[in-house]
Amino acid sequence: MHRTIKLPITLLLAAVTTACAAGFPPGGAGGDPGTFDAGPAGPVEVGRSDALAAADGVAAGDLELPSAPDGDLPPLPSLGGPFKVGLSQASFTSSTWGKYLLTIYYPAASAGTSTPLASTGAPYPGVVFAHGSDSNKDLYTWVGKHLSSWGFVCLLFSVPKPAAATNDQWVDGIRSSVDYLVAANSKPGILKGAIDVSRIGSTGYSAGAMGTLLAAAQDPRIRAVVSLAPCWSDVEAYQPLTIPAQIQVGGLDGLCPPAVGEKHYNLLTSPKQLLVIRGANHIGFLDAGLTYEAARVMTALGLLGDKPATISRESQEQTTKKYLTSWLQYYLKGNKAYGAYLFGAQAQQDLAAGVLDKLRSQP
């Protein structure tokens, strides 16, 4: 059994009244709630030496240059992609855990529910997202919307027992979600022929981040992972993991701190990447909205164990989108131009500008 860090969502909702009474303004530090594909283009980036990179948090020898020069940059992956977003709802039932609810986001010919698939670019890589404990899929819709706009079919699921202190139902949910995508690709429906089942990735947050690492070690169909704020668990269970793995951590995460992310990174084999987002915390990976605002207030009052962020939730999301999308473009789609954002001068500029506290990479 793999135990999880618990985020008390039921208490978060009750804290909204406290937010009003305490006079906390909406939004994170420094910003209003953002829209789905908001985000400014960054400044002109410059290359940096290994010595300077090491001084800013890159371990000397970790970093390699991308396959494509920065002059051939693809569109900025923190912005919305070229596809409209469709979605559909579904479920499957586990004899062990119960009913998993699903939302599948996909590149669509027109935006909306159950709209036709965008045929240009199909079949698309599939990605499974696993939420954190005491939570559900509907608090992380930005992941599905963003990735599907970039040409991925993204399945988000809710575990049946989100308060259970075990990673096992997240691992089972991820593997069963891969089963679902493979089956949906071959039978009549919106997703028939939509998914390249040889290119499936997984990502997750907190308990779901640990579940992602554990599931990928067990399921060879998962070809790349991105783990957002993973907490400490039985890491020996995923030490055989040899697929590309990216770890993202908030520099002020009080629940799953950067030192834990670094331990995960050190146990992984190449290709791997660790980024520590300066000023970001644990709850900053949530959607904007009521639950995030309640969590932010509880964090400010010292009730959650997390640390208050010094950047806005929107800024944290934009950085996460940039590196998450680039990792999946690079390792699932094979688009090496995105190496510039992961390993090149673009990434080095994030260190120089104070967007990241640390960046370690072994492509």
CATH code: domain of residue 128: 3.40.50.1820
Instruction: Dig out the tokens for 225 from the structure.
Output: 């992972």
Report the run of H or E that residue 330 belongs to, with start and end.
helix 313-331
Q: Is the pLDDT of residue 350 over 50?
A: yes
| Count of domains observed in the chain | 1
338: left (phi over 0), alpha (psi -120 to 50) or beta: alpha
Task: Answer whether residue 40 is part of any domain.
Answer: no
Q: Which of 120, 237, 167 is nearest to 5 (CA)?
A: 167
- Domain enclosing residue 304, as ranges: 9-20+45-362
Please check whether residue 328 lies inside any domain of the structure: yes
> Token match 């934009």: residue?
318
Q: Crossing angle for the helix pair 141-149 and 313-331, nearest 10 degrees?
A: 50
- Considering only CA atoms, which of 126, 205, 104 is closest in space to residue 162? 205
The Cβ of residue 105 has, within 10 Å, a number of other Cβ atoms equal to 24
Residue 92 lies in a domain: yes
Residue 29 included in any domain: no
- The answer on pLDDT for 233 being more than 60 is yes
Is there a domain that residue 36 lies in?
Answer: no
- List pLDDT tens digits, range 85-122: 999 999 999 999 999 999 999 999 999 999 999 989 99
Alpha-carbon span 234 to 243, nearest angstrom = 19
Instruction: Report the C-alpha gap between 281 and 34 in whole angstroms.
Output: 17
Give 164-218 pLDDT, tens digit per residue: 877 899 999 999 999 999 999 999 999 999 999 999 999 999 999 999 999 999 9
Is residue 303 pLDDT above 90, yes or no?
A: yes
- Of 21-35, 136-150, 184-198, 343-357, which gets the smallest average pLDDT? 21-35
Q: Is residue 131 part of a domain?
A: yes
Does 35 fall in a domain? no
Instruction: Concatenate the DSSP letters of all residues of 273-291 into one string.
Output: EEEEETT--SGGGSPSSHH
Q: Cα separation of 180 and 178, whole Å?
A: 5
Question: For 129, phi and psi rounded to 5 degrees?
Answer: -115, 135
Interval 8-20 mean pLDDT: 42
Higher pLDDT, 167 or 327: 327
pLDDT band at 70 (very low <50, low <70, confident <90, very high): low
Residue 157: which H helix or E strand, with range?
strand 153-158
Report yes or no on 62 lying in a domain. yes
